[in-house]
Amino acid sequence: MENPSPIAVDLSGQKALVTGATRGLGRAIAITLAANGAGVACIGTNEAKLNETVEFIRSAGGEADAYVCNVADPAAVAATCDAVIEKWGFVDILVNNAGITRDKLLMQMEDDDWDAVLNINLKGTFLFTRALSRLMISKRKGKIINISSVSGLMGNPGQANYSASKAGIIGFTATVAKEIAKRGVTCNAIAPGFMQTDMTAALGEVGLDIAKQTIPMKKVGQPQDIANAVLFLASPAASYITGQVLAVDGGMTC
């Protein structure tokens, strides 16, 4: 299938699992990994959108399967990982991308707003990493790539829950990297800035124009920019990189 990335990596024979693969960043990541030869297990809760991603990959000649799963549900995550491993035997690349927002100022934020975001964004990352890192450690190989955010690096008003979850992913990534480095498994994070996705589209044209003024490059990024970074970290070229946070943000965190 045609590679949407400006870089090419031979991932033939490798298997990847991507959470939140229904749209935006996750969809671009899944398509890019598949275009470079990986089989991709696409994880999400919207079955129709998930199947769209899978069918797009298959129609282009790639390999993909859909798995409907709530990433915050321990039993569902365990069952999904078991199903993927039963089919493929191994997962070489794990991309923890699933995430939601429920933006409100702190004084207006309800307990449910906090819990929902932390559960999907942070707990989901923990559950999939715990489930699949065991096998990676036993095989002494594997790449874990967690999608954080610049909000986890610098905070953002109205996003106390989201920023906390994304900062948690950064701390989680550093700790996991240190725990598993000697076993041949790497764990890194990517911190996207403002990306052109459904999530940022909710800001509206005025909101996006204001956001652009905070970006040194004066433009928002594209999902493919994140997919390119994932592809690099999943490649042999990044075999000596672990515990790092790669900001893909047009210079916001300079």
Q: Reply yes or no on whether 240 is catalytic.
A: no
DSSP assignment string, 60-120: TT-EEEEEE--TT-HHHHHHHHHHHHHHHS--SEEEE-------B-GGG--HHHHHHHHII
DSSP assignment string, 13-62: T-EEEEESTTSHHHHHHHHHHHHTT-EEEEEES-HHHHHHHHHHHHHTT-
Q: Which of 67, 162, 172, 232 is catalytic?
A: 162
Q: Phi first, then psi: what are they for 195, rounded to 5°?
A: -115, 150
Show which residues are catalytic.
162
